[in-house]
Amino acid sequence: MTDAFDVIIVGTRCAGAPTAMLLARKGYRVLAVDRATFPSDTVSTHMVHPLAVRALSNWGLLKALEETGCPPIDTYAFDFGPFTIAGAPGTKEAPVAYCPRRTVLDKILVDAARAAGVELREGFTVDEVLIENGRAVGIKGHSRGGAPVSERAKVVVGADGRQSFVAEALNPESYDEKPPLLAAYYAY
């Protein structure tokens, strides 16, 4: 069986969609899948920090974010109870951050991936990572209510988050693990 794609990316939020977009812009045939449909929300990544804003600008996506009305942020304050750390996070080259809802940010990124030529399948569940000789070579999964399909690629990228299905399937060796020491919460 031949590879239908150069790259398959599992997960198309703020890691997977830009990776897919940049690879497609370089001429690679990319399939990106996500079990979510967009726009959709997720509790993660509340801030697009200044260097990431510069990346959005370099990719030609900053204007789309600005047009949503999301205001730029030029100062931060982190309140730890007994003390607060406050200041300007940016640099001269990248002075501001943004805090868009994920319904906004992820949709911009997914749309940009599609515009770059990525074949994007929303509402797609990966049931299995196809492995041959210890190497990921594809995926098997299904759309909501759809029949199972298999797709192959030279490279499979797991951009599917902290509890990555792709990483679990490959069972990589763990190293330098540390237990969580604290939890954070955000207020706006």
Residues 31-56: tens digit of each pLDDT? 999 999 988 888 777 789 999 999 99
The Cα-based distances of 26 to 17, 19, 116, 117 in angstroms read: 14, 11, 9, 10
Domain check: are 64 and 153 in the same one? no
Please indicate, yes or no, whether residues 56 and 37 belong to a single structural domain of this protein.
no
**pLDDT band at 112; cut points 50, 70, 90:** very high
Q: Are residues 178 and 91 in the same domain?
A: no
The whole model's pTM is what? 0.89
Regarding whether 106 and 166 lie in a shared domain, the answer is: yes
pLDDT for 186: 63
CA distances (Å), origin 10, targets 59, 139, 149, 163? 21, 9, 14, 12
Domain stop point among 98, 113, 130: 98
pLDDT of amino acid 69: 96
The whole domain housing 161 covers 1-46+100-188
pLDDT score of 187: 60
Please identify, among 66, 98, 130, the residue that sits at the C-terminal boundary of a domain.
98
**Statement to judge: residues 104 and 66 lie in one domain:** no
How would residue 162 be classed by pLDDT, with cut points 50, 70 and 90?
confident
- Which of 132, 112, 172, 136 has the alpha carbon at shortest distance from 10? 136
User: Rounded to whole angstroms, how far apart are CA atoms 30 and 176?
Assistant: 32
Read off the pLDDT band of 116 (50, 70, 90). Answer: very high
Q: Please report the pLDDT score of residue 178 as a whole number.
A: 87
Domain match, 113 and 148 both: yes
Mean pLDDT, rounded, for 80-105 = 91
